Structure 1
Amino acid sequence: MNSLRHLEIEGTYMLKYLPQGIGRLTGLRTLTDSRDESREAELDKKQHLRALTLEFGNDGRLDDDEDVLEILKPHTNLKEFIIWSYKGSKLPKWIEDLVFSNLVKVELMGCEGCKQLPGLGKLPSLKYLNIYSLAEVRKVGGEFSGDANNDGSGVVSFPKLETLIFKDMPNWEEWELREGDGQVMPSLVELSVKWCPKLKALPHNLPPELLQRLSLGLSNDWMSSEAPLPIFPNLNHLEIWGNDELTSLPGGWLGQLKALQTLEIYNCNRMESLPEELQHLTKLQQLNIRSCRVLEERYGDGGEDRDKIANIPSIIIGC
């Protein structure tokens, strides 16, 4: 078994211990485990472990999950780390430890008990971060950047982060990036914020220079917010996800996205028209509209407003 690369343990509800000696499996790359007694895994000694997925069972208790995750601290050579269905109210401090300098990908998924995000901004090599379905998080602030005092101490946070995804955060209301002289996310290329109905604004100091792809869930609250959307001069791909309440798009903001090449609009059934500013986006090459009943009628083939988007080379309406 020394050549074993992947181990998944699921549905074993009576399992109490992992096999003695599992820590000597030098070829193991991925371990999926959701049970209590995990010390025998000796993950902190597995220097060849590169990808680790920890999936916690639905029958787990808060204290049990927190204890297990503390025990399952991996070796610092780890590159990819995924957590599923964690019940604890907080994540262990080791996840934000600078010694994990090789970590390039982190996914926190279905950790519905967590109330605060860890300080992942400290990780020097992190490139991809996916945060999905953390129902108890209400504010993301300086602690996320690794700056608990939010004083902008001059250190670059998320120095290599290229992709940041937030999805299904039903109670998330506020997102702040630290102020001060320290840079935050200077390498960010792709940002996705979807299914976060209580969030009303993006941080005003998001770094605009490199962002090329943005996926954004909008509501009427965004339209009435006093905080304007940041301008991203190099944005070339924009996805807008609405809901049954969204009635308009921020035309003034869209008109300033001069590098935009692809615009996709989804789930905007109450929206009746597109902003006139689209006609002035000279680089726009593709427009996709799906699940937008009125827009599909007005801008589809033979629609009354089809001529208003005739300057766009590729148009896909409906599916």
Structure 2
Amino acid sequence: MEIFGSVLLLVPCFPPVSATFPQPSRSLEAFATVGGGPIQARKQGFLGLDGRKELELIGVECFNNLVMRSFFHDLRKDKDGHIYYCKMHDLVHDLAQFITDKECFLIEMKSNNDGDQLHNNKKFRYLSLVSGEEAMNSIPTLSELCNLQTLKLDNCEYLSKLPQGIGKLINLRHLEIENTVCLNCLPQEIRRLTSLRTLNRFFASEGCKIGELKNLNLLQGSLEITRLKRVENKSESYEAGLKNKQDVRSLVLEFSDDSLGGVKEVERMEDVLQGLEPHPNLEKLSIYEYPGFKLPSWMSDNSVLSNLQSLSLSCCWKLRQLPPTLWKLPFLEIIEIDLLPNWEEWTMGVEEDGVIISTTILPCLRNLVISSCPKLKTLPALGKLASLESIKIEGLQGLTHWDEWELGVDGKEIKIMPCLRILKLYKCPNLSVVLATGVLVSLEQLSVHSSRKIKYIGELCEGGGSDGNDLFPELESLEFGGMENLEECETRRTIIKHRQIMPCLRSLVLWHCPMLVAPPHHLFLLPHISPPLLRKLVIGDSPFLSWMQQPPLPPSSYVLLPFLEELELLYNAGSLSRSLLSPDNSQMWFLNLKSLILTGSPHTSLPQGIGQLTMLQRLTIRSWNRMTYMSEEIQHMAMLRELRILCCEILGPRCQEGAADWGKISYIPSIIVGGIFVEHQ
């Protein structure tokens, strides 16, 4: 009986779910995600009242059951495991559409006359409108559709106002207005829609004040409130009753700070934000263009943000500090801070002489982004943030004392940020030494850009690997760019005792390092247990870089790069711009290279030895105005399948069909010269 009942429950659910799939693709994309799962039938009233569960939750269960019974296929899931895309068979789709002919509609609006289709049937429960016409800036009245539960207006880019009489749709549960870029106000009667579960955006205005949200306490999922600069005071913002909206999980507060400047205006906005205290169930908070000097007191109350998982602050021009209690939030996973030009100080509030004295700081933090905060003078010690997986730090010109990374842990600590996989350091001009990253046993990607004071890579701590031997044991991608004073990629400690360094490295990028004289030799020289696994190598604008020639070693000490598949040389790449051979011209470094890109070389011909790239399949030559002819060596590349010559003033015309160098390249199946494509059978 239990199984039989489950099937009976699915019978009324199946048609609306299926019928709303758009034709002709029979595919569903980006279903609304109220309650966490992608399904539309839950919004269409075909599910009977349970008394114990919201219809949306019942709908999720029904959809999942239909998936289990193979009504849908080609499923795609997001990072949280929710299905956001699926397909169905044509026959199933057509049957469902036939059954729900008078109850589910997808209408493409090309003019206001198309709205006449809406008045012929009052049974509509689900209505999705699609408009791509500029003239279609409004929708006829829908007040007669008293049974309507879902109105989907997403991507109606020219829609500037909502339908008349929308306040009469007392059964409306979902009003979806994502990507309606011309819509900038809501009707005042929105306050009557007390059954609403979904309202993506709310625009504070004189015609529809923020207090109209007061009775919409069943809202779920995400809520974005914009134009908060139009709110008069704390009392008005408090009227929105955000504290009472226990099912709102994501809250975006946008002030659109384009006209505020006076002290009184700033204080008014501080009061407005104070009145927007959310319910403690909130999981994601984003604040944009906030003009205040300080954040509200409720952001220092950990009981209010006790369930917060993500915090984003952007374009808060006057903000000077963050709450020190922020570090005590137990479930916070993501912190993103961008464009806070007056933010000067940030501490964890639990430090003593730079060392964290508590072990329970942000136990769940996975992702930290700090960018464009030029006045920030100090960073909190990060060494004990054990869950951190990704760090991006960019545009911190004010860190005058950040000569080395202060990890803030006792010297006896062995594991520092054991889960860190991605580390990006951009535009930190006062950083002079790259930290001892060798102890980051899980690090997979290291990028350091535009830090012109760095002259060498910092000391690699001994015992970096889990077995006390390997350093950077999991590193797959290493990138240094815009390092004007970087002279060497070696470390200050001897590396002979270590078994391997970066044994998993797949990608190495060195660009605009004009003082760099040698790559990291320990990646390429014997003794090695196995050859380097490097797949991609990019070198650019590093004219003094001498590949494998310093220190001078006998040929028996060289290790080739047998797995390298992609090589890109930009502008002056040092010795590789001249030759791809070993120093004694006896060996080719890149035996299995498949793709080679050469951009803006200062020389007049292709690198020596290019004809020995017998496995090369794709060759791109671009912006190379000094190259006057095509080398004869290109005729020796038997596997070459594609040649691109782009923005080459002299070489380009010579390589066009029938021109001087055409005979050297005519054997290649696919040739692109400028914008002209030639393909041979």
TM-score class normalised by the smaller sequence: 0.7 to 0.9
1:23–1:41 CA contact under 8 A, matched in 2 = no
Q: Paired residue for 1:138?
A: 455
Structure 1 residues 224 and 18, CA gap change in structure 2 (3 angstroms): closer
2:617–2:639 CA contact under 8 A, matched in 1 = yes
Matches for 1:279-298 after TM superposition, within 5 Å:
279-298=635-654
Q: Paired residue for 1:51?
A: 367
Q: Paired residue for 1:118?
A: 435
Q: Paired residue for 1:39?
A: 347
Whether 2:394 is the aligned partner of 1:78: answer no
Q: Paired residue for 1:272?
A: 628
Structure 2 portions without partners, runs of 5+? 1-279, 285-309, 351-358, 525-530, 553-557, 573-599, 676-681
Structure 1 residues 50 and 260, CA gap change in structure 2 (3 angstroms): farther
Q: Paired residue for 1:233?
A: 562
CA-to-aligned-CA distance 1:65-119 (integer Å, 9 cap, x gap): 3xxx134556211111111112334242329973311111111111111111112
* Structure 1 residue 316, shift from structure 2 partner: 3.6
Q: Paired residue for 1:151?
A: none
Distance across 2 between alignment mates of 1:84 and 1:308 = 48
1:6–1:30 CA contact under 8 A, matched in 2 = yes
Name the amino acid aligned to 1:76.
A
Name the amino acid aligned to 2:482.
D
Matches for 1:1-319 after TM superposition, within 5 Å:
2-4=282-284, 5-18=310-323, 20=325, 23-24=328-329, 26-32=331-337, 35-39=343-347, 45-60=361-376, 64-65=377-378, 69-71=379-381, 75-87=385-397, 88=399, 89-94=402-407, 98-140=415-457, 143=459, 145-146=460-461, 155-176=469-490, 179-182=495-498, 183-207=500-524, 209-217=532-540, 221-222=544-545, 226-227=549-550, 231-242=560-571, 246-247=602-603, 248-252=605-609, 254-255=610-611, 257-273=613-629, 276-318=632-674
Matched residue SS, 1:196: coil
* Structure 1 residue 171, shift from structure 2 partner: 2.2
Structure 1 residues 45 and 146, CA gap change in structure 2 (3 angstroms): same
Q: CA RMSD in A?
A: 3.6
Q: Paired residue for 2:679?
A: none
Matched residue SS, 2:434: coil
Structure 1 residues 199 and 218, CA gap change in structure 2 (3 angstroms): same
Distance across 2 between alignment mates of 1:197 and 1:316 = 32
Distance across 2 between alignment mates of 1:16 and 1:52 = 17
Structure 1 residues 3 and 14, CA gap change in structure 2 (3 angstroms): closer
Q: Which stretch of the first structure deviates more once superposed, 20-29 or 236-245?
A: 20-29
Name the amino acid aligned to 2:283.
S
Structure 1 residues 285 and 266, CA gap change in structure 2 (3 angstroms): same
* Structure 1 residue 272, shift from structure 2 partner: 3.2
Distance across 2 between alignment mates of 1:7 and 1:188 = 33
Structure 1 residues 181 and 99, CA gap change in structure 2 (3 angstroms): same
* Structure 1 residue 251, shift from structure 2 partner: 1.9
Q: Which stretch of the first structure deviates more once superposed, 128-137 or 173-182?
A: 173-182
Q: Which stretch of the first structure deviates more once superposed, 193-202 or 112-121?
A: 193-202
2:433–2:454 CA contact under 8 A, matched in 1 = yes
Structure 1 residues 86 and 317, CA gap change in structure 2 (3 angstroms): farther
Q: Paired residue for 2:135?
A: none
1:129–1:164 CA contact under 8 A, matched in 2 = yes
* Structure 1 residue 218, shift from structure 2 partner: 5.2
How many residues align? The count is 306
Structure 1 portions without partners, runs of 5+? 149-153
Distance across 1 between alignment mates of 2:567 and 2:381 = 42
CA-to-aligned-CA distance 1:235-276 (integer Å, 9 cap, x gap): 111212115672044323x45555544344444332334555
Distance across 1 between alignment mates of 2:518 and 2:374 = 33
Matched residue SS, 1:293: coil
Distance across 1 between alignment mates of 2:497 and 2:659 = 52
Structure 1 residues 20 and 121, CA gap change in structure 2 (3 angstroms): closer
Rg (Cα) greater in structure? 2
Distance across 2 between alignment mates of 1:264 and 1:125 = 35
* Structure 1 residue 214, shift from structure 2 partner: 1.4
CA-to-aligned-CA distance 1:137-157 (integer Å, 9 cap, x gap): 12336x2x4469xxxxx7211
Distance across 1 between alignment mates of 2:436 and 2:490 = 13
Matched residue SS, 2:664: helix
Q: Which stretch of the first structure deviates more once superposed, 37-46 or 79-88?
A: 37-46
Structure 1 residues 125 and 14, CA gap change in structure 2 (3 angstroms): closer
Between the two proteins, what is the percent identity of the paired residues? 30
* Structure 1 residue 170, shift from structure 2 partner: 2.1
Distance across 2 between alignment mates of 1:95 and 1:256 = 52
